Amino acid sequence: MILNDSIVGMVDDLKAEHHTGTFQVKRGLAEMLKGGVIMDVVTPEHAKIAEDAGAVAVMALERVPADIRAQGGVARMSDPALILEIEEAVTIPVMAKARIGHFAEAQVLQSIGVDYIDESEVLTPADRENHIDKWQFDVPFVCGATNLGEALRRISEGAALIRSKGEAGTGNIVEAVYHLRSIVGDIKKIASADPAELYAWAKSLEAPYELVKMVAETGWLPVPLFCAGGIATPADASLVRQLGAESIFVGSGIFKSDNPPERARAIVEACVHYDDAELVGRVSKGLGEAMRGLDDASYGSRLAERGW
């Protein structure tokens, strides 16, 4: 295509000097999201409510996890038109979900300019063995993990951000706590392990030795660790932040509650001032009913078991 030669020339020069889609740039955006709340939204109106309440990013979806759980059927990538409308509606980053292993959905999401892709167990997996090779993309990926081994495997595939999985759509924090304690607990053990023990750690975690060594040296994951799956109240946000999550994803918890704008705002404040119980108490007052949620016994199948 001809366009204006000088413009094409400048764009080419730019490619020579500027590097886009690098791991540093991908991980960098995750750093910027720290201390914030990423909210699931299903319409541009929801997206605006989320942005007004102080969401640091939105996850554009057709159905929140609670509805996917209730309605069943195959859950797929959302309609690109909906995602584009949400991109137009807000100025904060927009994330969207692709099915586990469905690299073509991820290619589509990248082509419409989403800022982060969540390769998510909330959608129906497309591949029984392989996750997406995330190094092939310029757009950054976030992936779920239930334990440290799973987190490191996802990082070795190119994920620039890890979220503990929890159990999406339940409004029940128990699984999130379990996963977070497992990941953070193992990180602490590895950080104090003898160097000779790291090989056995790599074996038992089924994760690359180099990444285990990085965990040992830095005392943390090579990428940020956020928490998802079951957060429904400001106190939930405070709990997982105190357990080591650097930011939180809230799915059904906001728009399945009585008063989404107020609850969203309260969760944002509680996420920032997580260690100030008095403040968490103040913002928790009079929010109306939280999402109804599911107790342990009524989950049916666990979404967190998807992904390997």
Partner 1 sequence: MLVGILALQGDFFAHASSLNDLSVETRYIRSPSDLDGIEGLVIPGGESTVMSLLIQSSGLYVPLIELLKSRLPVLATCAGVIMLSREIVDGRDDQISFGALDVSIKRNGYGRQLQSFEADISFSAGSFHAVFIRAPRILKVGPDVEVLATIPSHPLPSATRPRYFDHSYRTEDAVADLQKVGGLQETDWRGSGDGQYSEPVIDESMVDEGGADRDGVDVVMCRQGPILACTFHPELTPDRRVHSIFVDQVKRSRIQW
Residues contributing to the site for partner 1 (CB under 8 A): 1-4, 7-8, 10-11, 13-14, 17-22, 24-25, 28-29, 31-36, 51, 54-57, 84, 87, 91-93, 107, 110, 113, 115-116, 138-140, 246, 268-269, 272-273, 276
C-alpha separations of 272 from 67, 133, 137 in Å: 28, 33, 31
- Residues paired with residue 297 on neighbouring β-strands, in sequence order: none
DSSP for 279-293, written as a single string: HHHHHHTT--PPP--
Q: Are strands 94-99 and 225-227 parallel, antiparallel or unpaired?
A: unpaired
SS3 161: strand
Cβ within 8 Å of residue 283, ≥6 positions away = 234, 265, 266, 269, 270
Cβ 22 to partner 1 shortest distance, Å: 6
Torsion of CA 229, 243, 222, 219, to 10 degrees: -160
Terminal Cα distance for the chain, rounded: 44
- Residues paired with residue 40 on neighbouring β-strands, in sequence order: 59
The catalytic residue among 97, 134, 165, 256 is 97
Cβ 262 to partner 1 shortest distance, Å: 13
* Whether residue 97 lies in the annotated active site: yes
- Total Cβ atoms within 10 A of residue 188: 14
Nearest CA among 75, 69, 71 for reference residue 293? 69
d(CA 110, CA 69): 26
- Residues labelled as active-site residues: 97
